[in-house]
Structure 1
Amino acid sequence: MSARIHSLPAATASLEPMLALTAKDMLAVNAVILNRMESRIPLIPRLAGHLIAGGGKRLRPMLTLAGAALLDYSGNRHHRLAAAVEFIHTATLLHDDVVDGSEMRRGKAAANIIFGNPATVLVGDFLFSRAFELMVEDGSLRVLRILSHASAVIAEGEVDQLTAQRQIETSEERYLAIIGAKTAALFAAASRIAAVVAESEERVEQALDDYGRNLGIAFQLVDDALDYDAHSGIMGKDRGDDFREGKMTLPVILAYARGSAQDREFWRDAVLGHRIGDDDLAHATRLVTVTGALETTRQRARQFAERAIDALSIFPAGEARQAMVQAAQFAVARAF
């Protein structure tokens, strides 16, 4: 077993090594995606393409491709499975935007705003179906079990988040369970299936699962911090979306717990939807900053990123491992 990997300074963190590592394979994945989102119903590829071609980094399918590179896998099963991962992710985004009433996604109008809620939900269902077709064609019951279980866990996480919405007493423990389900489950599954197609032993599967899961939690923590960051326009969505939707994210949970009686009264009103103007968002941003809630959230993200990096310590040093280390550091560096 290799020694613990020391993390890179945030200033050097970049997704470029991961993009370079997976570039050739991603061309094959993109070809599968374009082929499988076709339909005799013109609205389906038009709506799906609005999001799929919308500039996302495709980090989740990249995890499958990077894991395969890490294990020196020489086949091509991972191409269709990475496409299945992207379809699952895209379907959840389409459904989420309807549930949240989102107006923007990746810097442009969300699909539900352009095409309407019914069409957006149904095309999300179509993409889920395409993902399962790809899994079945792969022929591995283990892959099917991993990705189908992840899909169920994601749905559970989204429902749990919905029931926690506007619930000011939501605990940090419940919040972590929610993001572990709605975000980290697919990161973990996308990483783990690379070990399955490479026919690796269980400890290798588990190491990649641990990498993806911890990376996913770090990624979501950073997203939740950026909602209260004045410079978070890089996200391609409206800053303050979570605030206006009454979502109980870690910055809010911590700021509420640490605040004065007056601060807590503000948070109760805001979470219930009574304080959602621009001035209220500005006040909320000040509170998460002065209470240290934003910095604590960032610190937690760093801790989970370090766990992701440590999970890679069983693998030999090389281009693939280094790219995966830098991807974990990049996920956190977005918060600064």
Structure 2
Amino acid sequence: MGAPSELGDFLRSRRAALRPEDVGITPHPTRRRVSGLRREELAMLAGVSITHYTRLEQGRALSASDSVLDAIARTLRLTDDETAHLKNLSRPTTARPAAPRAEQAGPSARQLLAAMSEVPALILDRRNDVLAWNRLGHALLAAHLPADSPGTPATRPNVTRMLFLDDRYRALYTDWHDEAQLAVASLRLIAGRHPDDRRLTELVGQLTMQCDEFATRWARHPVRTCTSGVKRLRHPLVGPMALSFENLVIPGTSGHRLIAYTAEPGSPSEAALRLLASTTAHTPNGFSPALQTPESTPLIRRFRGS
């Protein structure tokens, strides 16, 4: 993920997405070979010399001022996230890629996670490795994996990898395509902030090689952050749920986040979540079955009133 190449690819993708008509240019019906903006058109509209813009797109001018970058961003109609990404790519770090370092959730964060007994929650690092989850978070998202799998880096799940390469995890999401797009866009943003993160580069490389769907989405350069929203799930034990989530950055860490899920009070999703909590309370080590079992059937019937 070399920054100059990433910068050029990102700018070209955004030029291609903006039609000349969108910015008041009437294209000649026979002389135009590209559907998006040309370099010289973008430079003119942004008030930047074509030479300077070309050098920027080619990765040969990595000291552009904020005013120049803001002018380009306005012309390309970039979102706030995309503008921040443009600036990150325009000023890459000169440090050598750091050696991979195993992340760990802090003791106080783990204590908080364990105390959230009625709320599914997990802690992720910036690469989306699962550092820890509570009993209900494990049961909601990855009951087919051992409950202690986040404990060591060798067995630690990664939710982005699972979304594209783990069929059971993928099947949880009713709106999988939307979820996949958001996951790639969020990962793009993080990759722009941390171009020297070797473990992150390895993750992107693995997903690009092993999943055509990821590779196609990654090549489009989506960029977006996500701090809250709704996840629509099809849980194999308790059925469909619509859960709100909050993505909270943990201060004093290298980008760790606590993600917690809640259901609307009185909703069927809340009932399903309570049912799931009851099944985990009756299983050793909080390991919830991924499918309905004979042992769980009486409990499910009691909650459903059947």
After TM superposition, the score normalised by the length of structure 2 is 0.26
Which structure shows the bigger proportion of residues in helix conformation? 1
Which structure shows the bigger proportion of residues in strand conformation? 2
After TM superposition, the score normalised by the length of structure 1 is 0.25
Q: Which has the higher contact order (CA 8 A, sep 6+)?
A: 1
Based on CA coordinates, which of the two structures has the bigger radius of gyration?
2
